[in-house]
Amino acid sequence: MSGDWAVELHGIRKRYGRGRTAVHALRGVDLTLRPGSYTAVMGPSGSGKSTFLQCAAGLDRPTAGTVRLGGTEITGMKENKLTALRRTRIGFVFQAFNLLPSLTVEQNVVLPMRLAGHRPDRRRAAEVLHQVGLADKARRRPGQLSGGQQQRVAIARALVTRPDVVFADEPTGALDTTTATEILTLLRGAVDTHGATVVMVTHDPAAAAWADRVLFLSDGEIVDHLDREGPAGPGPDRGGLRDPGRAHADRIAARMTALAAPRTHSKAAA
Ligand SMILES: Nc1ncnc2c1ncn2[C@@H]1O[C@H](COP(=O)(O)OP(=O)(O)OP(=O)(O)O)[C@@H](O)[C@H]1O
Ligand SMILES: [Mg+2]
């Protein structure tokens, strides 16, 4: 990917509707993410996390501001060019999975390849399905899977093209701890092994602890951030005294609690 930054947002605003009923979902977001970084985004429900992700991924157009992906400005890009860029360089995991019910699991996973006009690579599909623990479900349809399994198909689909940037909206929201850990390991591996850039929305401090940096959104603004010290993940001696992942998750949870508290004073912590 060319350019110094994988993702650049400058002055991003997003307003839904007009006049008195207008919702200001994003109120000026500035952000630069370097290639090979893993960022978690947290914030109360309705704080603008999904809107932020969709604007950053070029799925939605901001009301104001500019977005660059790998040095390419996508704001104002023609729809067909933007779609082509998204299909080849971006992976997106939707909060609501967005699987096509009439296609099999395997067909859903190779869809980004077909849409990009490439021949579906079934070996690669089998590989990512194996990575998300669904090697035996390739021929099923989404309706025959549990919520957590559907979520994992959506993750396999986002990773199948080895995109430069992966945007994931609550990728572990429907998963138990063990499966969530597998998915977080997979995303972490995409960053550490393949140099992918990952941006992940989550409500779970333990999931956010896998990222290099946590951004906190409140009312459409980034009001705080927290960087990880030491290695990612829960650590080898889980539950022990020296568990950097656990301690970090506790710090993240404390920031979230502070964010949710009544806003008597302003965003001085930012
Ligand atoms: N298409 C839309 N039309 C109008 N308002 C919208 C639309 N999409 C989102 N909003 C509003 O924008 C604000 C931010 O929504 P968003 O979905 O980004 O929140 P979120 O942080 O992802 O919340 P959650 O944690 O519940 O998923 C909310 O007030 C929401 O009601
Ligand atoms: Mg959301």
Which ligand lies nearest to the CA atom of residue 15 in the structure? 1
The answer to whether the CB of 96 is under 6 A from ligand 1 is: no
Atom of ligand 1 nearest to the CA of 95: 27
Q: Which of 14, 51, 169 should be mutated for ligand 1, with most atoms under 8 A from CB? A: 51
Give dist(CA 202, CA 206) in Å, integer.
9
| Structure-model confidence comparison of residues 215 and 174, the more confident one | 215
| pLDDT digits 0-9 by tens, 248-261 | 999 999 999 988 87
* Atom of ligand 1 minimally distant from the CA of 47: 21
* pLDDT tens profile 46-57: 999 999 999 999
Residue 77 in contact with residue 85, Cβ under 8 Å?
yes
Length of the chain: 270
Nearest CA to ligand 1 atom 3: 16
**Mean per-residue pLDDT over the chain, rounded:** 90
Q: Is the CB of 51 under 6 A from ligand 1?
A: yes
> What is the Cα–Cα distance from 207 to 210, expressed in whole angstroms?
6
Please tell me the number of the ligand nearest to residue 54's CA: 1
DSSP H helices, 96-221, are 105-115, 122-131, 147-159, 177-194, 205-208
pLDDT of amino acid 232: 64
Domains and CATH numbers, the chain: 7-258 (3.40.50.300)
